[in-house]
A and B are shown apart, each in its own frame.
Chain A
Amino acid sequence: MELLIRNGFVFDPINGVNGEKMDIAVKDGKIVDKVNESRAKTIDATGMVVMPGGVDIHSHIAGGKVNAGRLLRPEDHFKDVERKTAVTRSGVGYSIPSTFTTGYRYARMGWTTVMDPAMPPLEAKHTHEELSDTPIIDKASYPLLGDWWFVLEYLRDGKIEECARHVAWMIKATKGYAIKVVNPGGLEAWGYGRNVESLDDPVPCFGITPREIIRGLCKVNKLLHLPHTIHLHTNNLGKPGNYLTALETMRCVEDLAENGKPVIHITHCQFCAFKGDDWRTFQSGAEEIANYVNAHSHVTLDMGQVIFTDTTTMTADGPFQYTLYTLTGNKWTNHDVETETSAGIVPFHYKRKSYVHATQWSIGLELALLIKDPWKIMMTTDHPNGGPFTAYPRIIAWLMSRKAREATLRKINPKARSRSLLPSISRELDFYEIAIVTRAGQAKALGLKNKGHLGVGADADIAIYNFNPETMDPAKNYRAVRRAFKRAAYTIKGGQVVVKDGEVLKHMDGATMWLDVQLCEPCEIELNENLKRRFKEYWTVEFENYPVSEDYLAVSHPIPVKADV
């Protein structure tokens, strides 16, 4: 099938296209140089913004934890429903939408690639079953490896290459995409209800520190040549004063960087940019983080923006979720996974009038605006932790318009407002920068070669928004920006028009991407033997039943990676 998108204002930062009026040609699901104009279906994008399909580097959309959150909250769903239509399945929202609804809602906003960032390896099949039931969008998931006993033991013993081989096995076995590390060491400690307090706090019973885990996995990541860096949720997340931990974490891998390439991704950075000794003296640490990031090139971040709404927090950080439960007294689900990781879920309401919540809201935006290079910071809400992903249009408006920020600032807690850095920041992102923080930067950080751009050969994932940058100023007309991003004029996925004017036209499967890590020595047999021997000691399932077979992926998209071990 051929498609021609005519005359739109194209924003394609990876190829340096900044709002030029041009045509985009599509054939067989890919961007091509040109198509037969008489045969091709034409979309008139005159007066509209054309971007690559949105890419989300961090959004909890599938798996055991997300589903436990869904189960926990019928009251979250019952007033936000999606009726079955002739082409779509029914479902519910709000903060933890059912799988079909998740796919549709992303597509409606023009997003076409989403990464689920926390997959407990033992329950990887569950994550993939849900991802396969998430329509339209392409996706991938990051296995949680920072507290896996094999990693702790090999790194403690200094066996980096052994560790790398096992991590490679694990990524393949779980059909994963990147190394996810959450509160390294803290999750193992949480097995007995404890936590680690700093980068040098030893992990109980394992004789290793968080610093060693982070550095070790950074090295493993390099040995394996994985397309993304390690994806890290820092220690002490959600605690006042933790910006120091975040800075220390970034510093601890400075020496591992080569050629100015990133080696670490600090995720939902808002949650680890807290200054102050306690909740009373709580303050933004965004400036310090931004200053560091502006001076260094080995780190990328995503925002983890907070939205004022009732949402559901869920992370693999068991001890953090427990703290949140003790702070709120809300319902609390905990799910520790043997030998590997943990998880926690607590419903949470971010209130404008709360000093802490309002300051958190400010921190996210301060980070995005104070970090000068948009390729280093990506837009996320850490869905649903800071708020549901459906709030992206509002964040885009805040980033593009000082007026939008001021409108919200007026309504927040006065103390938070008076301490916020936002009134002093005049920066307003343009569409080119928005395209970076919402797709191009994310695709680049993830090493997704065919996503996040509209160059020839890229996947034909395209979003068209009904906003005319020539006649309208987004900074002034931020409400129009919000409307445009809420309901894409067109979303095109793999060359097919799936959304028109915010309505889903088609239910189709998206692909699940995973890394087929190829080790260079024929050490696979030995590795398997070693694993088999130890399997029964570590887990309660059989070795044969552990890996995720490709049958679990509705559309399997393996990406070959050649490792150095």
Chain B
Amino acid sequence: MTQTSASPTGAAISTTKNRLRLDGWTIGAFVTAGLIALPILAVLVMALVPSDDIWAHLASTVLPHYIWTTLVLMFGVGAGTLVVGTGTAWLVTMCAFPGRRIFEWALVLPLAVPAYVIAYVYTDVLEFAGPVQGLLRDMFGWHNRQDYWFPEIRSLGGAITMMTLVLYPYVYLLARAAFLEQSVCVLDVSRTLGKTPWQCFRLVALPLARPAVVAGVSLVMMETLNDFGTVNYFAVATFTAGIYDVWLNMNSISGAAQLASVMLMFVIALIALERTARKNKRYHHTGTKYSTLPTLRLSGPKQVLASVLCTAPILLGFVVPAWVLGRYSLQFYDITLQSNFIDYVLNSIGLATFSAILAVILGLFLAYAIRLQGSASLRMVARFASIGYAVPGAVLAIGVILPLTRFENSVDALSRDWLGIPLGLFISGTVGALVIGYIVRFLALSYGAVEASLAKVTPSMDGASRTLGHGPGRTLFKVHLPMMRTSILTAAILVFVDVMKELPMTMMLRPFNFETLATYVHQYASDELLEECALGALSIVIAGILPVIILSRAIARSRPGQK
């Protein structure tokens, strides 16, 4: 790759443009990314074992259906979150209307609601026996299903709606961070050129925020792709459902790994396609004018409309599920409180905090090393390491277990032979294995957010700092980090909340007698006992809210140049 066609990370700062320099940053980055990529490689290796005629069987039966539902689901949720996420982000960042300060943080709240939980809640509310249809029947004198039409919640459309409601905050957060980090200059210029606010958004702000928005939407699509809980509950047969079926019912882990690999290839192709589409474009701001963003004064009716548009996703994605769960909690709290509930809360929060910090540090390290080096091979390894997010959790967990236990068993054998000390499995079955799993799975979140943000810092900043005698590390801390605060906080929230909700890997990698809120909820939820697990589910939501609120306030204040 030559410097002129450099990707959005901007021009590499290195003077030797294309040669790979093996300094500490580069080697460290290669090793880190390589280790994180290992579980994904393990999945690919598992796929190499032949799996009888599973493909022929699938191709002649359910595969077309899997592919169709998966594509519709992915692009449906992608489009939905794109519209809701960027739309609301633009409104709260750029427009003045009543409640804006509250919407700023409240729009993130649905992020704390696991998709499978919101699916349970809405099924409860909207199904035939639920309160909504019951009310309608009472009002209009209908008796049975044949008397009227009501959308079936357990459907592909239902799944798209549910996932859009809880996943749009990914796009919202990243888009908002991008809008906040934008220079006022370009907006001023476009306003001076006589563009309307809407044209400013469409022609200037949105294209400039593209790396962030794309990062958000691709996270959403990957999350959609690996979801099992929701689609399983809604009886929507997706590719992921197929992977579990081949693994657990047809007893073929290699067949499952093959399906997962195909899915990965698809994700890689999508990402590559997007990268090619924005080749040669750079997204950093050259202006240094970071004065307070201008706010658009909206007319009365438009203010109301803006408020309504921002209220709807919060209401549907957060208030309704929290309210339903809250009501059940009041009724069924005793079941939850009989257990060591406080321990579960602490376990969840501790793991989420630790993993969030580690994931951000690693993501930052990788993204910055790539910025320094600009090497295409390193960039590829890092990107590969961050596609773990698209692999269904339980399959990825196997990918973690295989190399990890192999490593431990070899170390154990060596230690026995040489020192006579058996070490056993010193990481597997400890919290350490869980943290490794979370990093492998969620690096995409931190890396994506940080990389998008770094791309927006002009390389001349690096140049200036380096010319003034700062090393790369100092430059990162003194120059980049202050400018990237918003995105780093965003990355941390994303990982935190996702670890809180994470289920399949936690189930498989955890130690003895170890429950998190998610696993606690699952043992009931898996049997559709929504009421019994309501308090647990509500706690996931509440534990997720606190950091979300604290950090959103930090984000609001984090605009560069803001006092």
A and B bound? no
**Interface of A toward B, CB cutoff 8 Å:** none
**Interface of B toward A, CB cutoff 8 Å:** none
